Structure 1
Amino acid sequence: MITIEKENVVIIGSGLAALTIAERLSGDKNVIVLTKSTIHRSNSVKAQGGIAASVGEGDHWESHYQDTMTAGCFFNEEQAVEVLVKKGPHYIKKLMDRGLPFDKNAKGELLLGKEGAHMHRRILHAGGDATGNVLMDFLIKHLQISVIEGENVLDLIMDGTKCVGVITSNKNGNLNYYTADHVILATGGCGGLYQVTSNDSTTAGDGIALAYRAGAELNDLEFMQFHPTMLYTNNRCYGLVSEAVRGEGAVLKTKDGKPIMERVHPLKDLAPRDIVAREIQTYLNNGETIYLDISMIEDFQQKFPTITSICEKANIFIENGLLPVAPGAHFLMGGVKTNLYGETNVEGLYAIGEVACNGVHGANRLASNSLLEGIVFSNLLADRLLSFPGQSNTIKQRVEQKSNPSRNHLELPSKEEIQEVMTRYVGIERSREGLLFAKQWMERFNFQQFNQKHISDYTNEQLEKINQLTSCWLIITSALMRTESRGGHYRSDYPKTNDLEWGARHIIRHKNENRNKSLQMTGVES
């Protein structure tokens, strides 16, 4: 038999956004965090660059606002950006007051870095290039709630149009139902759907698929940011080389020493990420290797211990001053459509962090705004939920332990096959022909026939693949809708864009009149 538990708040995911709101709610709500891996594995832990905030002398929120809008190709929701940059310094100060050890100089002044498309030094670091790891350790040490690891969320429980809980599979392969007044998606992005990525391998778009089947609106899924500099050698990606390295003067060069960004953009190597990534990819497509020249950076090992460690694992000697790099899937600007408080159009369902989309990043996220987003909007959702009175959830569900999942003989692709198709046809450059091929390839596997009523017939692996294929299909559908190039979405058949004029924002929502029937996926443009 399976266990049935009642919690006020169920949080799916264990990154920065999840733990920030979990800590805020823990004193007033019954909170449970579910993570399919461990609390120490998330994109937040891997974050190197730092947190952007206008806390330095001569800096101002209006400058941070303008940089965010410019990087986002002016496709951002202005109110969301203003909230981010105005409230960011406030929440950063609260973390500092609590003892979060941001890096400082001998005088006790914050060491502020500079990254691409920022006009000021405003990037706060902790532990050099280990900001995410230091921040997450800090939060974990202060956490006083129940965290269940190895619990994979398979689908959301709906009572009509209201979300009232989640269905999970635990380490023993048994199904569990958790009911809640509030279900919060904090599952991160979808970089794991690509061959080369900065993301943790567990980040594969689960939250997007869950929200879609529940009827939540999705926005801007076509905007996928590719980080220009992943350490890449011998056909293998070893990890991220932070943009902070270029902020300290590193230069992208060919094998012959030619700087590749010299005449491409006024900011050269610190141009917006989509521009730098496409330029590098152009050289790679022509068979050239691109290197990041770090020879001018003094005390590199002390400033960038995480990157130094990655280089050692890849047998790259930093003394040579050249790091081989390639672009990799990094951050999804789109996601589950929310307001400023993380509320979706589905009652009882919320989204925060990378899985959410309130428009703050526009078509291309500004460097180091992601950790700030997780901190700011998680706190705003916490404020909203703390203002709600406790409710009594009377939903009762039972399901037998998985007994014979093998009787469902779905033919599904391997994760590697999915990654190959996404990288080739839905990567840095897209075209209608390639996107249609990828869409039809995904549809071959009949994943849209998933039926929650018979969820016990599926294996865990099948259910994970169904969610991956669903997320891929949604990204492809969005990319086909946008017949222009903008930010992280570059159409080789529509290469020109105008920042002052753009196509309409698209919303995709599942038309699920009866969730007990097989799900038919229909993209809706509005």
Structure 2
Amino acid sequence: MKKADIIVIGSGIAALQLAHHISTKKNVIMLTKSDVKASNSSLAQGGIAASIGADDHYSLHSDDTMEAGRFHNNKDVVDKITSDASQLIHELHEAGCPFDQDLSGQLKLGMEGAHSHYRIVHSGGDATGKNVIDFLVATLPRNISIAENMFAYELLINEKNQCVGVKAKDETGNIHYYFADHVVIATGGCSYVYSLSAGSPNVTGDGIAMAYLAGAEIADMEFIQFHPTMLIKNGEVKGLISEAVRGQGAKLVTKNGKLIMEGVHPLKDLAPRHVVSQTIYDYIHKGEEIFLDISSIDDFEAKFPSITEICVSSGINPKDGHIPVAPGSHFLMGGIRVDLNGKTNISGLYAIGEAACTGLHGANRLASNSLLEGLYFGKRLAKYLNSALPMEKLENDVFLERSNHTPVTVPNFNELRERMMENVGIVRTKHALVKHKSWLERYLHLDQEFPSFDNLSISEIQSILAIVIALMITDAALERTESRGGHYRLDYPTENINWQNHQVIYHYTKGRIGAHEQNKATVHARAVFC
């Protein structure tokens, strides 16, 4: 058993930013599923969006964010984050984080889809995530302890509905108990529950499912962003081709050279991601191959060294000018419902980064707003925790244990991923969603009493938590009878004003002492609560 002031589950940009801003008087333990750098943050080729240019303003960045999110965003949250973006970049840069500069020493600003101005800050061309994570890890304060290869799987909740800690398993299956006044979930999204994904295999929604089973509110799970341009070879994802490539002038074309975004959207190849993904999907569904024509980009290899390496290692020569692409699961706009300080509806439990539903992204994330969100909420939550008092908890860290009866069986994880892509992917229908939900419920129901996971292997627990995530995505996609942002229903192909700013929220209470109400999918008007 270990005790700390703060436990952080995850090691992406939000977690590391929190670690840098937390008081050195606080004892912090960071639990990470594998290597400390093995997060989606480190894979981010795109940059960080901020209105730094002389002709730019945060209100324009805010407008672009709202438009990309199809006005499902929380405007107050969007304004606060976009107005702080420049300061967050300059703080990192002044601390020594390397960002690309022009010959005059000014930060270079790039363009990406759905942005109205050049405002994307990069590091190492297309290695922004890796460089920022490397910097933050290398400069971690001494009060931060890191436990790698530690799989957190159950939050410890006491009879006062306070989160008092977390259970985790090491590589050999030994159970470890960690207790703290404050527990922060920063485990990322769930992109790897889909078969087409360039994300880290670690990102399967564990933290979100764990929070759900503890009684946290989960919102907007139907909003999955499918990145338009993942490099595809022989039906497999080999890597992601950053939107910055299209920002430099690359065009999406068929094998015969047809420009597929002509006449689809005023921004053409730089249209919002859901528009581009759905257009590519339509062509692929009709049997067409789609390519990214990079022939107009001078010095491609120098500008995009990481992407060049991915191409070459996949047997594709960038000098040929065409990269085969297809959309794949990339980012979750929903997650654990939090306020501006990252607080959940459970005392002592917080969520930041992609695991959290903050109101910034709405129905579709604007390019390069993800690292920005992590920086903002990591710093903001640290400031809150620096002044927070220890909770008045029950004596001896009493928490509620689940029963140890035999759990249900779980499906093959790869089969789950294939079915998610087929039935709850880029284009959805009631028929496919109902069929998939029925298949998932052969294994689990969201309102059943869940057993103890203590005697299960890490892979078994991960599969169970992945089904919980899959059920929430599928059921929420059934509930939302419209198309908005990353959620596209072929049987409801247009936006419905009655759905704008209304969230599908899941709240699990069954199986908890003193709790009798079963969880329900409920629709609420968006609100940021305290």
TM-score tier by shorter-chain length is: over 0.9
Q: Distance in 1 between matches of 2:469 and 2:517?
A: 14
The alpha-carbon deviation at position 503 of structure 1 amounts to 6.9
1:458 deviates by 2.1
Q: Is 1:102 aligned with 2:78?
A: no
Checking the alignment, whether the CA contact within 8 Å between 1:167 and 1:175 is kept in structure 2 is yes
Aligned runs of 1:317-356 on 2, under 5 Å? 317-356=317-356
Q: Distance in 2 between matches of 1:447 and 1:305?
A: 46
Measure, in 2, the Cα distance between the counterparts of 1:222 and 1:501. Answer: 13
User: In the aligned structure 2, how far is the partner of 1:398 from the partner of 1:482?
Assistant: 36
RMSD: 2.1
Match of 1:121 in 2: 118
Aligned residue in 1 for 2:88 = 91
**Is this contact kept in 2: 1:450–1:519, CA < 8 A?**
no
- Conserved? CA contact 1:21–1:381, under 8 Å: yes
The number of residue pairs the alignment matches comes to 517
Q: Give the residue type in structure 2 aligned to 1:115.
A: E
Q: Once the 2 structures are TM-superposed, how far is the Cα of residue 117 of structure 1 from its aligned partner?
A: 0.5
Matches within 5 A, 1:431-510: 431-446=429-444, 449=448, 451-452=450-451, 454-497=452-495, 502=500, 504-510=502-508
Cα deviations across residues 400-446 of structure 1 (Å, max 9, x unaligned)? 9xxxx9x9474211111110111011100111111111111111013
**Residue aligning to 1:190:** 190
Q: Does 1:201 align with 2:201?
A: yes
Query: One-letter code of the match for 2:7?
Result: V
Q: Residue 224 of structure 2 aligns with which residue?
A: 224
Q: Which structure 1 segments of 5+ residues have no match?
A: none
Distance in structure 2 (CA, Å) of the matches to 1:428 and 1:451 = 31
Deviation at 1:154, TM superposition (A): 1.0
Query: Aligned with 1:121: secondary structure?
Result: coil
- CA 1:517–1:469 in structure 2 vs 1: closer, same or farther (change >3 Å)? farther
The one-letter code sitting in structure 2 at the alignment partner of 1:19 is L
The equivalent residue for 1:308 is 308
1:23 to 20, 32, 38: 20
How far, CA to CA, are the matches of 2:449 and 2:305 in structure 1? 46
Q: Which residue in 1 is equivalent to 2:528? A: none
CA distance in 2, matches of 1:162, 1:337: 16
Alignment of 1:79-478 (within 5 A): 79-143=76-140, 144=142, 145-160=144-159, 161-390=161-390, 394-396=395-397, 408=406, 410-446=408-444, 449=448, 451-452=450-451, 454-478=452-476
Check whether the contact 1:451–1:516 (CA below 8 A) recurs between aligned residues.
no
Contact in 1 for aligned 2:164/2:399 (Cα 8 Å): no
Q: 1:471 to 1:58 in 2, by over 3 A?
A: same
Pairwise CA distance, 1:512: 3.0
Amino acid at match of 1:225: Q
Q: In structure 2, what is the Cα distance between the partners aligned to 1:417 and 1:149?
A: 28
| Structure 2 residue identity aligned to 1:157 | L
Q: In structure 2, the residue corresponding to 1:184 is in which secondary structure?
A: strand
SS at match of 2:340: coil
Report if aligned partners of 2:65, 2:366 keep a CA contact under 8 Å in 1: yes
Q: Select which of 64, 69, 73 maps to 2:70.
A: 73
Q: List per-residue Cα deviations over 1:381-417 (Å, max 9, x = no partner).
A: 11111111345765447999xxxx9x94742111111
The whole-number CA distance in structure 2 between the counterparts of 1:129 and 1:99 is 19
Q: Where do 5+ consecutive residues of structure 2 fail to align? A: 525-530
The answer to whether the 8 A contact 1:252-1:291 is kept is: yes
Residues 31-51 of structure 1, C-alpha deviation per residue, up to 9 Å, x if partnerless?
000011111200000000100
- Give the Cα separation in 1 of the matches to 2:454 and 2:473: 28
1:58-69 superposed matches below 5 A: 58-69=55-66
Structure 1 contact 73–499 (Cα < 8 Å) conserved: no
Counterpart residue number, 1:56: 53
Give the 3 Å change call, closer, same or farther, for CA 318–499 of structure 1 in structure 2: farther
Given that residues 169 and 176 in structure 2 are in contact (C-alpha distance below 8 angstroms), is that contact kept between their aligned partners in structure 1? yes
User: In 2, distance between residues paired with 1:237 and 1:259?
Assistant: 23
Q: CA deviation at 1:240?
A: 0.5
Q: Could you list the per-position Cα deviations for residues 59-85 of structure 1 after superposition, in whole angstroms to 9, with x for gaps in the alignment?
A: 111110110111111111001000110
User: Could you tell me how far apart the structure 1 residues matched to 2:349 and 2:301 are?
Assistant: 44
Residue identity in the other structure for 2:333? M
In structure 2, give the amino acid aligned to 1:167. Answer: K
SS at match of 1:455: coil
Pairwise CA distance, 1:468: 0.5
Q: Secondary structure at the match of 1:505?
A: strand
Of 4, 10, 14, which residue of structure 2 is paired with 1:13? 10
Give the counterpart letter for 2:36 in structure 1: I
Which whole-Å CA distance do the structure 2 matches of 1:503 and 1:120 have between them? 27
User: TM (normalized to structure 2)?
Assistant: 0.94
Question: How far did residue 459 of structure 1 move?
Answer: 2.3
Contact 2:9/2:185 (CA < 8 Å) preserved in 1?
yes
The worse-fitting range, judged by mean Cα deviation, of 319-328 and 379-388 is: 379-388
Check whether the contact 2:111–2:118 (CA below 8 A) recurs between aligned residues.
yes
Quote the sequence identity (%): 47
Scaled by the length of structure 1, what TM-score is found? 0.94
Specify the SS of the correspondent of 1:207.
helix
* Residue 34 to residue 314, structure 1, CA distance change in 2 (3 Å): same
CA distance in 2, matches of 1:65, 1:320: 38
Distance 2:47 2:113 in 1: 13
Q: Which residue of 1 aligns with 2:37?
A: 40
Q: Deviations over 1:454-482 (max 9, x none)?
A: 43332222211110101111111111110
Residues 329-373 of structure 1, C-alpha deviations (whole Å, 9 max, x = no match)? 011001111111100111111000001012111111100000000
- AA in 2 matched with 1:435: L
Matched-pair contact (CA < 8 Å) for 2:23–2:386: no
Query: How far apart in 1 are the matches of 2:514 and 2:173?
Result: 23
Change in Cα spacing, 1:518 to 1:463, as seen in structure 2 (3 Å) is: farther
- 1:220 touches 1:505 (CA, 8 Å); kept in 2? yes
**1:521 CA displacement:** 5.0
Distance 1:466 1:450, change over 3 A: farther
Where 2:134 maps in the other structure, the secondary structure is: helix
Structure 2 Cα separation of the partners of residues 216 and 295 of structure 1: 49
SS at match of 2:275: helix
Tell me, yes or no, if the aligned pair for 1:49 and 1:368 is still in contact at 8 Å.
yes
Deviation of 1:506 (Å) = 2.1
Equivalent of residue 514 in structure 1, options 502, 507, 512: 512
Q: Secondary structure at the match of 2:454?
A: helix
Matched residues in 2 for 1:294 and 1:192: separation?
A: 28
